[in-house]
A and B are shown apart, each in its own frame.
Chain A
Amino acid sequence: MSRLLATGLASAIIASLVVATAAWASCPKATLADIEDEVMCPVCGVPLGLAEAPQAERERAFIRGMIDRCRSKQEIKRALAAELGPSVLALPEDEGFNVAAYLVPALAILAASLGLALGLVTRQRERRRSGSDHPALGDTPPLDPADLARVDAELESRKR
């Protein structure tokens, strides 16, 4: 009877260990350090990782509480935004209208690169067309007749 009881007890302990291990393995491994540099301390206006204000401490406690409850990084960030507003996120969400925050700089860089490339190609073509690296004579404005006469006189005087 006692052997039966001991076997049952051991089976129960093993079963509970297996369940606990499985639960731990399925728990997302979010860390405070990983989240701290992606969220802001709204009152301090700096990333949470750099903030020492009392609000920052409460924010950290909130994050720790959610980590303990096995929440993923995304879930924690969403919960923080729900509690403190979207300005708590150091980086905007990459969905909906907020995608513009990532798309606009990328498009601006692309447009600038294209403009630069186009400018270089145009300049190269102009050089080839003129056959020289020097600017074309037609680009320089014609001399004023009075200036021309003055330069001629100057040259004449030097010849003497």
Chain B
Amino acid sequence: MSRRASAALAVIALLAALLALLGYGVMSNQPDRAVDDALAAGERQPAPSLTLPTLRGDGSGSLSDYHGEVVVLNYWASWCEPCREESPLLQRWHRRIAPRGGTVLGIDTRDVTSDAEAFIREFGLTYPVLRDRDGRTQSKFGVVGYPETIVLDRRGRIAALRRGPVDEEFLRRTVPPLLEERS
């Protein structure tokens, strides 16, 4: 093979590699919709494992700590305006479901700790809150915005999902039937 042909081949290989890299970058930035698809098909997928430090930094918490409970997993941040609107509702529902084996579990993400603590004080939140400082767990649930809420049944499977703020109707439709189920 002549030198020119070798050089052309090398340039083509380099361009192909760059295109492949670009394609990979575009594909890896696409939101994961596996959970949405499973729910649309009427399936409940097991929730991915999740262990994070508590907001106060005095330990860590895990989804497995709540096995046997209905978990309303809520991704939020103090700077997120819709999160402010839904927080009182989540707090009311936490009080309502806690005696029946349910809990709201907040995941504060991409937030300054002191801002998050002020938010919790302002809304009088009593449910547990974990801290995902750089949002690395949210891809497990395909979370792309804030707030997003994932409801897990007593067996730790994803039973419902709301991309955006929850409302009374969503919680009323999804949570009580799950509380009736056995683990």
Binding site for B on A (CB under 8 A): 42-43, 54-55, 57-59, 62, 83-88
Contact = CB atoms under 8 A, between A and B. Distances in A.
Given A83-B112, A83-B113, A84-B110, A58 B133 contact: no
Interface string B133-152: 11110000000000000000
A2 to B, nearest CB: 49
Interface stretch (B16-24, B41-49, B66-74, B76-84): B76-84
Contacts of A59: 112
Contacts of A58: 78-79, 111-112, 115
A108 B114 CA distance: 43
A54 B134 CA distance: 16
A54 B113 contact: no
Given A55-B79, A58-B79, A87 B112 contact: no
Contacts of B115: 58, 62
B81 A84 contact: no
B133 A55 contact: no
Contact of B81 (A54, A62, A88): A54
Interface in B115-134: 115, 133-134
Nearest to A82: B133
Contact of A43 (B78, B110, B133): B110
The winner among A42, A43, A62, A86 for most chain B CB atoms within 10 A is A43
Interface residues of B, number: 14
A55 B113 contact: no
Contact of A42 (B78, B80, B81, B110): B110
A87 B133 CA distance: 10
The 7 closest A-B pairs by CB, nearest first: A85-B134, A54-B79, A58-B79, A55-B79, A62-B112, A85-B133, A83-B112
Interface string B32-54: 00000000000000000000000
A144 to B, nearest CB: 18
23 contacts: A42-B134, A42-B135, A54-B81, A55-B79, A55-B110, A55-B111, A57-B79, A58-B78, A58-B112, A59-B112, A62-B112, A83-B111, A83-B112, A83-B133, A84-B110, A84-B111, A84-B112, A84-B133, A84-B134, A85-B133, A86-B134, A87-B134, A88-B134
A145 B78 CA distance: 84
A57 B135 CA distance: 18
A55 B76 CA distance: 12
Given A85-B133, A85-B135, 14 more contacts: A42-B134, A43-B110, A54-B80, A54-B81, A55-B110, A58-B78, A58-B79, A62-B115, A83-B133, A84-B112, A84-B134, A85-B134, A86-B134, A87-B134
